[in-house]
Amino acid sequence: MGELENTAGFALSRERFTLARCGCGALVYISPTPTDADFKAMYVDHGQFGMEYTDPARVAAIVEYMGGCFDRLAARVGQPGALHVLEVGAGLAWMCRVAKSRDPGHVTVAQDVSPEAVEACPWADDYVRGPVDDARVAARAPYHVVSMTHVIEHVPDPVAIVRSCARMLHPDGLVFITAPHRPKGWREGDLEAWRRYSYNHVPAHLQYFSEASMTRLAEAAGLRLVHWSHAHEDGEAFEAWLGSPGQRPLTWWKRLSASWQ
């Protein structure tokens, strides 16, 4: 669809990347995939959490939003007692934070490849710096809630990541995914609108899912899409819940209610 400039703020292997659509027509993505050196530069060598993540008003807003998400997920899971919560690509581990605020007995595990926040999240019972399939992550399985909040757009093989999560998921558990969707009012070919998109982070954001492509991802990972909404931020972000193949999708009314909350 066109060329987008590197927005990282530092030199990478390329200055421009191609914005493309997959053959199925449902997934927008960046091509080519960044190099290993690019990934290291973006997620290890340079800090990701500036003042916007420590400002009290900003923190309160994030905690309020994530708390509402956790409450809806916990209600759907419907398990009595302590829940096991895994946060993938956790960063500052907001989902773990709100889970502990709801019940200190909830078991919380944060995972990330970046060292930046490992010592900054006392609300995580374990903070694992390593891959999702690290044995330390699996040790706390099965998980009732697996959270990937603005993470899946960063990973070069999302099927592999979600498949790893599926192997550790409780039969009644949910994989919760939020990520960028499309620029507000965007029409294919409008590259300027994409450049103005607040989630246009090149090449950190590798792919932008739709409901159809998320359905395909879930099936490829052995799961089922049970809830989808791209009503967030005027359509600029989406929320998806993935569950075991035997789980029934939310009814249209429950989907609408979930979106309002």
Q: Give the C-alpha distances (Å, rounded to integers) separating 10 from 125, 203, 218.
A: 35, 11, 34
The domain in which residue 74 lies consists of 54-191+207-260
Tell me the mean pLDDT in the region 2-27. 93
Residue 13 belongs to some domain of the structure: no
Is 201 a domain residue? no
Asked whether residue 46 is domain-assigned, the answer is no
Q: What total number of domains does the chain contain?
A: 1
Q: Is the residue at 154 inside a domain? A: yes
pLDDT the model gives residue 53:
62
Q: How far is the CA of 68 from the CAs of 53, 63, 72, in angstroms?
A: 19, 9, 6
Give Cα 133 distance to the centre of its chain: 17
Q: What is the DSSP letter of 168?
A: T
The reply to whether 43 falls in a domain is no
- The model's pLDDT over 165-178, given as tens digits with 9 standing for 90+, comes to 999 999 999 999 99
- List the CATH number of the domain containing 183: 3.40.50.150
Task: Look at residue 238 and tell me whether its pLDDT is greater than 90.
Answer: yes
Average pLDDT of the chain is 91
Q: Is 212 part of a structural domain of the chain?
A: yes
Is 12 part of any domain? Answer: no
pLDDT band at residue 58 using 50, 70 and 90 as cut-offs: confident
pLDDT tens track for 121-147: 999 999 999 999 999 999 999 999 999
Residue 145 in any domain: the answer is: yes
